Amino acid sequence: MANILDAIIIGQGLAGTALSHLFISQNISFKIISADEISSSSKIAAGIINPIVTKRYVPVWRATEFMDFCHQFYTKIEENLEEEFYHQKNIYKIIGSAEEQAFYQLRFQKEILLKEYANEEIIKLDTDKINAPFGAIELKNTSKLTVEKYLEISKNYFQKMELIFNENFNKDVLRIENNLVYYKGLIAKKIIFCEGYLAIKNDLFPKLKFNLVKGELIQFRSKELQLDKILNKQLYIVPNGDDMYTAGATYEWKELNEHVTKKGIEILQNDLSKIIKTPFEIIQSKAGIRPATIDRRPILGFLANNSCIGILNGLGTRGAMLAPLLANELLQNMVNATPIHIDCDVNRFG
């Protein structure tokens, strides 16, 4: 009989990768099943780690917990792998009007967390390059995860440890009997699905309520822009070095596919032209589907009617920030029976 693993993880996007690193740190035995390609939502993940909702200047849900944990997590993974993919990078949130200036000043006085992650002073930007007549707010203590590099380096690390099978998961050969999971010669106590939007096709979770969102982004070159901070207005503009930038993303709820569209590129090009004044050349475009949920909360935990089956999903647009802490909470539930946060529990859907 094969050795019994603690878990099988399905998917190596942001959720599956965070969970895998934490399992290694806790000596939890596991294998990963993941197709040899970047997951859909990770294709369009800008990797921005920012706890402030810039439309209303309020903190996101559990902001301090997520920020503290993800900083410790990514810093530790960089040390372990002797690589760099996590960078402290402030954000310039461009103000659109005098009314927004006044609104921000009011929010700054009332919202304690803004003082930790934003400066009160409204600053001026280089208006020869950036269209910002009302100035900008500098969000501080924010960061950027280079998502593709992080996932690729992690995959190589998992491969060297012989932890990953680069193949599509085949539900037809999965068996769960006597509190054990059987899959292609593997035997495990748990199977945990970190498969992003593909969860809508997984009949093990028929009651999940997703609100999937397609997003497109572009990568462009602009030698004159010379930007070292992230810009935010209608979209994010993220500097990648060597005069290269990422701009995105769009939001599409009806045409849910992974195809780049002329319409999406035109929207991004028009929005970008409203923000920057320098010439730019579009180099590449990408599209993917974000696994957002109907109640805007992640999904994690093990099924009440079958504790062998677990899930970590629904990270939406803030996967880089949410994944490490939520993966740790799933681990603690699995090992120590620590309760899952009620807002995230997979069983909340009935």
Residue 187 sits in a domain whose CATH number is 3.50.50.60
Number of neighbouring beta carbons within 10 Å of residue 242: 7
Whether residue 305 is found in the same domain as residue 344: yes
Q: Are residues 221 and 282 in the same domain?
A: yes
Same domain, 218 and 244: yes
Look up the CATH number of the domain holding residue 228: 3.30.9.10
186 and 217 share a domain? no
Check: CB of residue 131 under 8 Å from CB of residue 276.
yes
Q: Of all residues in the chain, what percent carry a pLDDT higher than 70? A: 98
Residue 68 pLDDT > 80, yes or no? yes
Same domain, yes or no: 219 and 283: yes
Q: How would residue 154 be classed by pLDDT, with cut points 50, 70 and 90?
A: very high
Q: Are the C-beta atoms of residues 12 and 150 closer than 8 Å to each other?
A: no
As a whole number, mean pLDDT of residues 78-92 equals 97
pLDDT at 350: 75
| Domain hosting residue 180, numbered range | 4-46+148-209+295-349
Residue 344 identity (one-letter amino acid): C
Is 249 found in the same domain as 196?
A: no
Scanning 246-344, the segments in alpha helix (DSSP H) are 262-275, 319-336
Rounded to whole angstroms, what are the CA distances from 57 to 68, 105, 134, 136, 198? 20, 10, 17, 13, 33
Please give the DSSP secondary-structure letter assigned to residue 253.
Answer: S
Confidence (pLDDT) at 41: 76
The model carries a pTM of: 0.95
Question: Given the structure tokens 């696994």, which residue do they identify?
Answer: 291
**Average pLDDT estimate for 255-279:** 95
Looking at the domain assignment, is residue 57 inside a domain? no
Q: Is the pLDDT of residue 52 over 70?
A: yes
Residues with Cβ within 8 Å of residue 184, at least 6 apart in sequence: 170, 173
Q: Do 304 and 170 fall within a single domain?
A: yes
On whether residue 84 sits in a domain, the answer given is: no
Question: Is residue 110, in this structure, part of any structural domain at all?
Answer: no
| Cβ–Cβ < 8 Å for 51, 113 | yes
Q: Where does the pLDDT of residue 40 fall: very low under 50, low under 70, confident under 90, or very high at 90 and above? A: low
What does the block give as tokens for 32? 């990963």
Q: How many CB atoms lie within 10 A of CB 82?
A: 7
Report the C-alpha dihedral over residues 45, 48, 51, 53, rounded to 10 degrees. Answer: -70
The answer to whether residue 341 is domain-embedded is yes
Q: What number of residues does the chain have?
A: 350
Residue 34 pairs with which residues in a beta bridge?
Answer: 166
Q: Out of 39-43, 51-55, 61-65, pick the least confident.
A: 39-43
- Asked if residue 9 belongs to a domain, the reply is yes
Q: How confident is the prediction for the chain on average, in pLDDT?
A: 95
Q: What is the mean pLDDT of residues 131-155?
A: 96
**262 lies in some domain:** yes
The upper half-sphere exposure of residue 60, i.e. CA atoms within 13 Å in the direction of its Cβ, equals: 22
Q: Are residues 156 and 203 in the same domain?
A: yes
pLDDT > 80? residue 184: yes
pLDDT tens, 280-315? Answer: 999 999 999 999 999 999 999 999 999 999 999 999
Percent of the chain with pLDDT over 90: 93
pLDDT at 142: 97
- Residue 176's nearest CA partner among 16, 301, 306 is 306
Q: Is residue 129 part of a domain?
A: no
Q: Residue 107 and residue 120: Cα distance in Å, rounded? A: 10
Q: What contacts 24+ positions apart, CB below 8 Å, involve 121-126?
A: 122/95, 123/92, 125/92, 125/94
- Per the domain annotation, does 307 fall within a domain? yes
Do residues 205 and 219 share a domain? no
Compute and round to an integer the Cα radius of gyration of the chain. Answer: 21
Number of domains in the chain: 2
pLDDT beyond 70 at 43? no
- Phi, psi at 75, each rounded to 5°: -60, -40
Are 285 and 303 found together in one domain?
Answer: no
pLDDT of residue 299: 98
Write down which residue in 264, 290, 316 finishes a domain: 290
197 in the same domain as 316: yes
Domain limit, last residue, from 290, 308, 341: 290
Q: What is the pLDDT of residues 225-259, one digit of tens each?
A: 999 999 999 899 999 999 999 999 999 999 999 99
pLDDT at 348 over 70: yes
Of 275, 290, 305, the position where a domain reaches its end is 290
Q: Are residues 9 and 21 in the same domain?
A: yes
Cβ-Cβ contacts under 8 Å for 232 (sequence gap 6 or more)? 54, 91, 92, 93, 94
